[in-house]
Amino acid sequence: MQAPDTSSVTTAAESTSATVRTPRLKVIDMVRGITILLVVVGHAGLTPVVLNDMFRDFRLPLFFIVSGYLFSASKYFDNFTSLLRTRIITLVVPYLSAGLLSYLLWLTLRTIETNHTPDIAWHEPLVAIAYGTYSGGLLLNIPIWFLPCLFMTQIIFCLSMRYLSGRPLFLQLAVMLSLSLIGYALSTVAFLPWNIDVALVAQLFVFIGYQLKQRQLLSKIRIFNLGTLLLMVIFLAAAYFNSYVDMNNREYGNLLLFYTAGIAGSLLTIQMTQLLSKSRFFTAFLTYIGQESLAILIFHYGIFILLLNFMEHYVYDSYLSWFPTTVIAVAGSLVLSMVVKRVPGLGFLVGGKA
Three-state helix/strand/coil letters over the chain: CCCCCCCCCCCHHHCCCCCCCCHHHHHHHHHHHHHHHHHHHHHCCCCCHHHHHHHHCCHHHHHHHHHHHHCCHHHHCCCHHHHHHHHHHHHHHHHHHHHHHHHHHHHHHHHHCCCCCCCCCCCHHHHHHHHCCCHHHCCCCHHHHHHHHHHHHHHHHHHHHHHHCCCCHHHHHHHHHHHHHHHHHHHCCCCCHHHHHHHHHCHHHHHHHHHHHHCCCHHHCCCCCHHHHHHHHHHHHHHHHCCCCEHHHCECCCHHHHHHHHHHHHHHHHHHHHHHCCCHHHHHHHHHHHHCHHHHHHHHHHHHHHHHHHHHHHHHCCCCCHHHHHHHHHHHHHHHHHHHHHCCCHHHHHHCCC
| pLDDT for the residue 12 | 46
Q: What percent of the chain has pLDDT over 70?
A: 92
| pLDDT greater at residue 25 or residue 247 | 247
Place 8 in a pLDDT band, splitting at 50, 70 and 90: very low
Rounded mean pLDDT of 319-348? 90
CA-nearest of 224, 226, 233 to 271 is 224
**Cα–Cα dist 316/164, whole Å:** 57
Pick from 23-32, 165-174, 270-279, 288-297: least confident: 23-32
Beta bridge partners of 324: none
| pLDDT for the residue 24 | 63
46-71 tens-digit pLDDT: 878 888 889 999 999 999 999 999 99
**Cα–Cα dist 236/21, whole Å:** 33
| pLDDT for the residue 9 | 56
Half-sphere exposure of 242 (CA within 13 A, CB side): 26
In degrees rounded to 5, what are phi and psi of residue 343? -100, 115
| pLDDT for the residue 70 | 93
Rounded mean pLDDT of 262-274? 93
Place 170 in a pLDDT band, splitting at 50, 70 and 90: very high
Rounded mean pLDDT of 161-174? 94
CA-nearest of 8, 24, 25, 7 to 16 is 25
| pLDDT for the residue 3 | 44
Rounded mean pLDDT of 108-132? 92
| pLDDT for the residue 84 | 95
With a cut of 90, say whether residue 264 has pLDDT above it: yes
72-97 tens-digit pLDDT: 998 999 999 999 999 999 999 999 99
| pLDDT for the residue 6 | 42
Residue 295 to residues 187, 250, 288, Cα–Cα distance (Å): 29, 25, 12
With a cut of 50, say whether residue 159 has pLDDT above it: yes
| pLDDT for the residue 4 | 42
| pLDDT for the residue 41 | 94
With a cut of 60, say whether residue 237 has pLDDT above it: yes
Rounded mean pLDDT of 322-336? 96
Beta bridge partners of 251: 246
| 101 close to 302: Cβ distance less than 8 angstroms | yes
| pLDDT greater at residue 177 or residue 13 | 177
| pLDDT for the residue 10 | 52
Beta bridge partners of 188: none
